[in-house]
Structure 1
Amino acid sequence: MHYYTDVLKKYGSFQGRARRREYWMFALFNGIIVLVLVGLAAATKSTALYVLYAAYILAVVIPSVGLLVRRLHDTGRSGGWFFITFVPFVGGLVLFIFMVLEGNRGPNEYGPDPKGADVYPGAAGPYAG
């Protein structure tokens, strides 16, 4: 759950890098919350729950895009790659592949490695690799 709250703490941040785990755990929690809200709204036919669902979606748009950009940064790509999603059929697939790829080891132009040296045994410095 802390991955979800960590992303929300960086609400409008498009700087730095994000690990795969941070991205996918946030996606998992978002998916669960959305399914619960939509399921409850459909089961109760409650307009209030549909409004709550819409408000939730609007509330997490900015942190979701920020996290996506930071995840792209971790793979050494500019946040501009987000726009590939507008390419029909293949755009979403390409972006999905980028989200699955391991991030660059060590620092890159977007910041230090979020995993740190402890992930790379025998590394000679905090960001060696």
Structure 2
Amino acid sequence: MGFVEAVKTCYGPKYARFSGRAARSEYWYFMLSHVLVLLCWLGLAVALFLPALDRVLPQFFDVAVSLAMLAIFIVTILKGTEGRNRFGPDPLATRAREEIFA
């Protein structure tokens, strides 16, 4: 089974059918098609992201914001670890709020 035939088979008569068997070539060609699609999407994302980054960074530098300050800003908007850690209970957990603000 060739590449095109495997992809047509998987998206055609065998679409969402979870019974039966598949040839090894059918499986690997289908997986290859997914990898190729993923690489295309990744390439498109990079192609769109780099020009945007190229325009944004000079704007940060124009207002005297360094890359370190930009990194600190990014860290502040990231979600913290869930549950208790070495700094104390999770402030977003319901029970922890009662402990912190009691």
TM-score (norm 1): 0.33
RCO comparison, higher one (Cα < 8 Å, 6+): 1
- The structure number with the bigger radius of gyration is 2
TM-score (norm 2): 0.41
